[in-house]
Structure 1
């Protein structure tokens, strides 16, 4: 969105807030009075006239005079300049120092956060006014020194507030999305996180303006604020103390000015916060979902996507005994003795694009979230990673991209993108990989896009992070990307905010961002979650067509076997942080060799009479700190033996992690 359009949206929201408009008008009047003080003040602020002292309102002195004959109206006008200058100076210092430090320690965390908060605790343990008086005593009297002291006090408050909101904001998906796109940490902090945490800072800044005015008035009232050459409302109150009985306006007028100014400052923050945020626009609605001409929509009555058409080529081999249709739980045919299990996984080709070898990821407590995961992805291939929630699919993807949560680390193993080792990669080399060579599509497009930036801004940031294009060229490239993923009227939609897109269109925007710099590998983590069936088909067809058109590889993470059947070449079934089975989709669906794969296939809804109950897998995936001994699936497996419960199970040369893989004859997809 252009600057003019952003301002127009803010202005429209302001028009719906009359109280905010009044506060802005009052503040604008004060600024005008302060700037034009020499022109509109009838007398100089320090001009004495002893003969006219303590006069009441008259034609010569509209608001009377003080004990030295100085014009009260003129001093109020010049006092406005002092009040605004003092408040603005102190709050500017507080914002610059406090927000920068709070953003840094909140985003970085760790020792930076601990040290920063200990310093803030010490500073805030001292009363603000007492600290200001101490700093003024050290630096000397004067408005500049007084407000410098107040600015340091405000910096601590702004730091704590910024740090608190950043701690929550940094865990949101759009921050990970910005890191995946390859934005430098400074850009992530100041261009992504800071605008999203600005609403509470706006409110705090408005409160601080009023507080600064009160502190300045208090210091001037005590005689340690402005010097004799300047005028302050606080100093006017101090001068009026001895003459309140005979001339009450001397105290009422500056007191009223202070009260109204503080009230306006406090009310203004809430209004500006609401007007400046596009999320407060209640009338904005997502655009109606449209089907782009470049996308083929697959309509099916099967909500899983697994229907007769999807599984036409997944018919079991005729040599495989068919299950008895009258037997609800077919048992396997057994051979005389179990086959020996090899301790090595299938070898990856030398030219594989991505090779994950023996990946083990642990949490801060030492529990293995992912254990000895090995797989590879060939060039131009769609590889599926499937399993229930909690099986380690997303953690594996996060390890590939270096996006593991704080405290979660790669304990062992290798992650190689061609000749680049990604495990342990940090800093600038990792940033060049993110977005430049690997893109990622997150499962929730609404969370993966920053709500306070237009999609054009977010796409151009990603493009410019990996190229030398100027702003105009990056905008042109962003429009091309939106057109590539099938967003209608792409140039116009660049100006829209994420909340103005429907779910399917927002997911297309996320895909466009992932493709911004032509990655070699695209990771799609549950890309069709929360989308209706028709839009799911559109997104899947779009990913497939983009993979072919751009000659990239695709890692598809999902728990939907219909998506796997429709999109993937090979599949790795994960359970409890391990690869249970890794084979081609055709082989895994037609002749599964791990009981977990069979159970997943049996639990998929299928066309039938409608009277047959839906199959389920008993129990649930255990937490990482409570993995079972032996085969991790054994508590839920109807084929488990005593050996399965006690013997660690490596993955065999055929890609199956099951002691009884050679003797079981499992049912394939129906």
Structure 2
């Protein structure tokens, strides 16, 4: 049985950490990461090149045609030949053999320094970030001191004290890398430790060490992977620089940097001596960096550009042309939105909003409500596109507008209120700065005039002492007041249409009522239209004139609020109404809808609600369903006697 409270699925997804080692989900996560990697040709090429370099490094004594340290002055500075494929250097040593053995030195130097940095830096970053307090203060002061010392200078100093040697040089580099890893890990952990899944782990009684290593660490891995790839390339460059200066490795080892040093006096007569090791260094650093980006994208549990497989082709019937009044401000007709894999997130959605009307869009999480609103504003995520349909604002088509043309629509004609004011406001700028920027983006007002307008907006939405509050930062506002600030920003340029996407989700019941009353009064005062996206039918009953119920990317019922609540015509609407608490449910369990909303790439054939519908027949499972003239997408709408709101 599923929880019919919409939004629960989104909260679970946002709160869930990456799969833990040893759980059943871990193989699935690894499989998805592998599939994502296979779809990244650059990453595959880099992996192949790195694997080739590792194989060459391991097999260097077997595949190198000559001893790389054995001089042969009789054959010095020879060009490529059958005996020496890449020629010889100033002492007659085989260039190919030295390149092969230099690969071992390069990979060993990079891996040693990064391993030291990862073990020390990530461990300390997890500790100070998770513990906070004095642990954090002391750790960051030590990091400040260490980071003030240039890596190359510290390496030179350590080599001077301990003597030449690859291990000594890379130890110094690893200590500097540890500071960078510590800072990055600590910064991400500070954000992760406040998330719900960490609190849930504490409630379950997990030890702090287990939470840090098994819960938090997998979620901070993407930036660490990128930093590690950069560090591998940086370590290689530092090793090559030290060897070029003659202080990095002893004479028994071969390094690409030492080869560059030996080639300086003979570049004119034998340019390959400098080109080959230089190209090897450049290629390896590039492979490290590109591979890090690819592994980050493939391993991240939040990877945004993962294409989904498209479900079976579903032939949708053409809905009858909707009756659109002449005073309609927004007209959405046949809107179909697909992701990168071809799955339909929204299928043939049509509705209109009249001037001065409040229109509700309701349904469980995953039904396509927010995607529909994002399509109206041209704010679809990367890889998600409008495949077909029309979006008209006061007769002007919004589809196909350029970025600058859309910017003129956003804010000026259409405003948006997001559900989480904490995320919608920049934490590093004052409220006054953010509102002033919004006003000036679509006007020629001076900064002083815009600030006065910002104060008027705060006063309009009921923020007390507005001129003083302009100087405050978002964290100085309560949740309800922060939401009022977001509404003020959306109203900065007197939009004709205001889209409120779950505007009361993060607020308590009392503040929810205040925000809804505020939106209603603003609509009447400013004569604007209002689109409220919500999963709360109480909000719809309180605020909306008409409502569209969405399920699985389709509108299944569109009617006036009074009609939909009194006599619903779609089983999904009836089920949602039955799950709403009311005065007579004290001590009684609320009805729930079995199952859950399927993902977009697995929409069912026929009526998309039929797997969860108690009234479904065989025809519902196989036949395509169009919306009827009365606004219901149900084959049995005329014969069913559905219960309304209790």
TM-score by length of 1: 0.52
Of 510, 520, 523 in structure 1, the residue corresponding to residue 486 of structure 2 is: 510
> CA offsets, 1:342-401, max 9 Å, x none?
940522123311000000011111111100000000100000000111111011011111
In 2, Cα distance between the equivalents of 1:117 and 1:463?
Answer: 48
Question: Is the 8 Å Cα contact of residues 380 and 553 (structure 1) preserved in structure 2?
Answer: yes
Aligned residue for 2:589?
613
In 2, Cα distance between the equivalents of 1:593 and 1:523?
Answer: 26
Aligned residue for 1:210?
149
Q: How does 1:207-606 map to 2 (within 5 A)?
A: 210-211=149-150, 214=153, 343-606=319-582
Q: CA deviation at 1:206?
A: 8.6
SS at 2:531's partner residue?
Answer: strand
Q: How does 1:38-187 map to 2 (within 5 A)?
A: none
Judged with a 3 Å threshold, the aligned counterparts in structure 2 of structure 1 residues 205 and 611 are, in CA distance, closer, same or farther, namely: closer
In 2, Cα distance between the equivalents of 1:466 and 1:644?
Answer: 50
Question: Is the 8 Å Cα contact of residues 589 and 601 (structure 1) preserved in structure 2?
Answer: yes
In 2, Cα distance between the equivalents of 1:342 and 1:204?
Answer: 64
Q: CA deviation at 1:278?
A: 14
In 1, Cα distance between the equivalents of 2:551 and 2:438?
Answer: 35
Q: CA deviation at 1:420?
A: 2.2
Aligned residue for 2:297?
none
TM-score by length of 2: 0.54
SS at 1:580's partner residue?
Answer: strand
Q: CA deviation at 1:279?
A: 14
Question: Is the 8 Å Cα contact of residues 345 and 653 (structure 1) preserved in structure 2?
Answer: no
In 1, Cα distance between the equivalents of 2:343 and 2:499?
Answer: 25
Question: Is the 8 Å Cα contact of residues 386 and 573 (structure 1) preserved in structure 2?
Answer: yes
SS at 1:608's partner residue?
Answer: helix
> CA offsets, 1:535-584, max 9 Å, x none?
01000000000011111100000011110001000000001100000010
SS at 1:374's partner residue?
Answer: strand
In 1, Cα distance between the equivalents of 2:324 and 2:142?
Answer: 56
Question: Is the 8 Å Cα contact of residues 353 and 379 (structure 1) preserved in structure 2?
Answer: yes
Aligned residue pairs, count: 396
In 2, Cα distance between the equivalents of 1:653 and 1:608?
Answer: 35
Aligned residue for 2:599?
623
> CA offsets, 1:478-517, max 9 Å, x none?
1111111111111111111111111111100110111111
Asked if 1:667 corresponds to 2:643, the answer is yes
In 2, Cα distance between the equivalents of 1:356 and 1:409?
Answer: 15
Aligned residue for 1:8?
none
In 1, Cα distance between the equivalents of 2:374 and 2:396?
Answer: 17
> CA offsets, 1:440-471, max 9 Å, x none?
11111111111222111111121111111222
> CA offsets, 1:158-184, max 9 Å, x none?
xxxxxxxxxxxxxxxxxxxxxxxxxxx
Q: CA deviation at 1:530?
A: 2.4
In 2, Cα distance between the equivalents of 1:484 and 1:118?
Answer: 58
RMSD of Structure 2 on Structure 1 (CA): 4.5
Judged with a 3 Å threshold, the aligned counterparts in structure 2 of structure 1 residues 475 and 212 are, in CA distance, closer, same or farther, namely: farther
In 1, Cα distance between the equivalents of 2:523 and 2:637?
Answer: 34
Q: CA deviation at 1:403?
A: 1.1
Question: Is the 8 Å Cα contact of residues 356 and 373 (structure 1) preserved in structure 2?
Answer: yes
Judged with a 3 Å threshold, the aligned counterparts in structure 2 of structure 1 residues 204 and 551 are, in CA distance, closer, same or farther, namely: farther
Aligned residue for 1:654?
630
Q: CA deviation at 1:613?
A: 2.6
Aligned residue for 2:293?
none
Q: CA deviation at 1:435?
A: 1.0
Question: Is the 8 Å Cα contact of residues 368 and 624 (structure 1) preserved in structure 2?
Answer: yes
SS at 1:539's partner residue?
Answer: helix
> CA offsets, 1:252-281, max 9 Å, x none?
xxxxxxx9xx99xx79x979x99xx9999x
In 2, Cα distance between the equivalents of 1:572 and 1:633?
Answer: 16
Question: Is the 8 Å Cα contact of residues 354 and 417 (structure 1) preserved in structure 2?
Answer: yes
In 1, Cα distance between the equivalents of 2:585 and 2:438?
Answer: 51
Judged with a 3 Å threshold, the aligned counterparts in structure 2 of structure 1 residues 661 and 278 are, in CA distance, closer, same or farther, namely: closer
Q: Which runs of 5+ in 2 are unaligned?
A: 1-39, 54-113, 115-140, 164-171, 194-316
In 2, Cα distance between the equivalents of 1:633 and 1:398?
Answer: 24
> CA offsets, 1:298-343, max 9 Å, x none?
xxxxxxxxxxxxxxxxxxxxxxxxxxxxxxxxxxxxxxxxxxx994
Asked if 1:645 corresponds to 2:621, the answer is yes
SS at 1:388's partner residue?
Answer: coil
